């Protein structure tokens, strides 16, 4: 994130001695500094200060290949996936089901039954974006914790060690549902909404006040056996560390997890229908993420609120439907996913354009991911495919 944050204790100057102080007031050694950054030494970075060395690996256990299995590598059909058909799983990582992939990202859904308590997780390959469709709880990280609830995006930079803790009441009464995207390039706010210094501009649909930063820094001065599962190159490696990974006494910098609620996205509207980029929320080098939220419709006297037919020439379009009235489609429900591949025009379903005329607003919520390279469907995705969506534009 292109803004500065700090939490806990840090020395007055970086890369200098930071002494631990015993209760008697005497020195009892040093804290251990760690640079946490990406893109070599040129990208966003933070400096963390640990009670113990963050490098103490005690044991390497098993490695499991978690590479998604592709069923359709060259897709030219528009498809609808029934997302809520995925079976819940107890373990958080086991519950993650990859559905759409390319060399830039993994797009999937998760329905975990339990919090992550027996181990810690680190994705060493990708930044992660988790969207909370159902459930609430707390993202616990070495940077501090971030509460989450319905409608929140959690953006977790690669290399962040974390645990997901769901509220007990939610686990008992509701089935948590998450959308996740693993990105091989960093996830940023849209460049056109930032000035040369990184500040979000006045015309941005959200600002820094809407960003929730880590708080309540946990500092565990513990040694022992701590299991960390690390994803790297399509495999999940289990390593035992000799100290608790949440032993940071303080940190500062620009590279850290944060959350942003879809409910705080302020829609941009106009006299005539606005194109999808006005809904953009995040960007990477290889895809963008957009948020569709309740908004007033276009106010030209001859406006057609439904989107116009358009050709996806340069991208594949994926929409995850969250809640509300999805005015441009027929037979769509929460948890459905539509895939509109590049090379095929698409637009409103038959009757949707006519129904939209004269309407003043929409109450829909949806997340859209547009990729710049074609997507492949996994074996799990094909089990969710309704098989007929590509015919839904036939005017019968």
pLDDT at 119 exceeding the cut of 80: yes
336 is in an annotated binding site: no
**In this predicted structure, what is the pLDDT of residue 168?**
80
Distance between CA atoms of residues 118 and 338, nearest Å: 35
Share the mean pLDDT of the chain.
Answer: 94
Distance between CA atoms of residues 82 and 314, nearest Å: 26
CA 272 to chain centre: 31
Domain at 263-391, CATH class: mainly beta
Between the alpha carbon of residue 324 and those of residues 176, 219, 302, 335, 351, the distances in Å are 19, 42, 25, 11, 18
pLDDT at 126 exceeding the cut of 70: yes
Q: How confident is the model at residue 26 (pLDDT cuts 50, 70, 90)?
A: low
pLDDT in tens, 289-321: 999 999 999 999 999 999 999 887 889 999 999
Per-residue pLDDT, averaged over 338-343, amounts to 95
pLDDT in tens, 74-111: 999 999 999 999 999 999 999 999 999 999 999 999 99
Per-residue pLDDT, averaged over 273-287, amounts to 94
Neighbours of 63 (CB within 10 A): 14
pLDDT at 328 exceeding the cut of 90: no
Distance between CA atoms of residues 14 and 33, nearest Å: 9
| pTM of the predicted model as reported, rounded to 2 decimal places | 0.95
Between the alpha carbon of residue 58 and those of residues 36, 160, 245, the distances in Å are 22, 20, 13
pLDDT in tens, 183-194: 999 999 999 999
**In this predicted structure, what is the pLDDT of residue 312?**
79
Beta 137-141 vs 127-134: how paired, if at all? unpaired
Q: How confident is the model at residue 230 (pLDDT cuts 50, 70, 90)?
A: very high
Hey, where are the domains in the chain?
A: 263-391
Q: Which residues are tagged catalytic?
A: 273
**In this predicted structure, what is the pLDDT of residue 49?**
98
Per-residue pLDDT, averaged over 254-267, amounts to 97
Distance between CA atoms of residues 49 and 54, nearest Å: 9
- What's the N-to-C CA distance of the chain in angstroms? 49
298 is in an annotated binding site: no
Percentage, residues of the chain above pLDDT 90: 88
Q: Is 227 left (phi over 0), alpha (psi -120 to 50) or beta?
A: beta
* In contact, 252 and 9? CB cutoff 8 Å: no
Q: How confident is the model at residue 396 (pLDDT cuts 50, 70, 90)?
A: low
Q: How confident is the model at residue 201 (pLDDT cuts 50, 70, 90)?
A: very high
Buried b / exposed e along 270-283 (16+ C-beta atoms within 10 A): eeebeeeeebbbbb
Distance between CA atoms of residues 329 and 104, nearest Å: 28
Percentage, residues of the chain above pLDDT 70: 97
Q: How confident is the model at residue 28 (pLDDT cuts 50, 70, 90)?
A: confident
310 is in an annotated binding site: yes
**In this predicted structure, what is the pLDDT of residue 62?**
95
pLDDT at 1 exceeding the cut of 70: no
Q: Is 388 left (phi over 0), alpha (psi -120 to 50) or beta?
A: alpha
Neighbours of 246 (CB within 10 A): 23
pLDDT in tens, 137-167: 999 999 999 999 999 999 999 999 999 999 9
Distance between CA atoms of residues 152 and 373, nearest Å: 26
* In contact, 330 and 350? CB cutoff 8 Å: yes
168 vs 391: which has the higher pLDDT: 391
Q: Could you tell me which of 102, 254, 108 has the C-alpha nearest to residue 185?
A: 102
């Amino acid at each position: 994130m292109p803004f500065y944050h700090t939490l806990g204790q840090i020395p007055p100057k970086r890369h200098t001695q930071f002494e631990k102080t015993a209760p008697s007031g005497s020195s009892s050694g040093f804290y251990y500094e760690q640079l946490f950054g990406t893109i070599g030494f040129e990208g966003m970075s933070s400096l963390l200060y640990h009670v113990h060395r963050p490098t103490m690996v005690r044991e390497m256990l098993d490695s499991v290949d978690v590479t998604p299995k592709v069923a359709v590598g060259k897709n030219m059909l528009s498809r609808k996936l029934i997302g809520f058909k995925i079976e819940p799983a107890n373990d958080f990582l086991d519950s993650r089901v990859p559905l759409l992939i390319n060399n830039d990202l993994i797009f999937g859904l998760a329905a975990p039954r339990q919090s992550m308590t027996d181990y810690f997780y680190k994705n060493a390959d990708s930044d992660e974006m988790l969207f909370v469709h159902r459930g609430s709880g707390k993202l616990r990280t070495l940077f501090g914790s971030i509460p989450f609830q319905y409608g929140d995006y959690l953006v977790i930079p690669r290399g962040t060690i974390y645990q997901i803790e769901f509220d007990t009441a939610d686990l008992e009464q509701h089935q948590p549902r998450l959308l996740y995207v693993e990105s091989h390039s960093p996830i940023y706010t849209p460049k056109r909404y930032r000035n040369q210094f990184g500040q979000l501009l006045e015309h941005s649909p959200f600002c820094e006040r809407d960003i929730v930063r880590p708080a309540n820094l946990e500092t565990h001065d513990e040694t022992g056996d701590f299991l960390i599962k690390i994803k790297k190159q399509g495999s999940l490696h289990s390593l035992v560390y000799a100290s608790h990974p949440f032993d940071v006494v303080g940190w500062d910098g620009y590279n850290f997890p944060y959350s942003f609620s879809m409910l705080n996205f302020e829609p941009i509207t106009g006299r005539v229908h606005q194109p999808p980029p006005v809904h953009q929320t995040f960007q990477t080098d290889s895809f963008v993420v957009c948020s569709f939220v309740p908004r007033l419709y276009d106010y030209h006297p001859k406006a057609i609120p439904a989107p116009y037919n358009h050709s996806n020439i340069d991208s594949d379009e994926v929409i995850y439907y969250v809640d509300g009235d999805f005015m441009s489609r027929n037979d769509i429900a929460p948890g459905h996913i539509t895939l509109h591949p590049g090379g095929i025009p698409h637009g409103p379903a038959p009757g949707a354009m006519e129904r939209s005329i004269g309407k003043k607003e929409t109450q829909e919520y949806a997340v859209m991911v547009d990729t710049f390279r074609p997507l492949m469907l996994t074996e799990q995705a094909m089990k969710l495919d309704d098989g007929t969506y590509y015919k839904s534009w036939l005017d019968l």
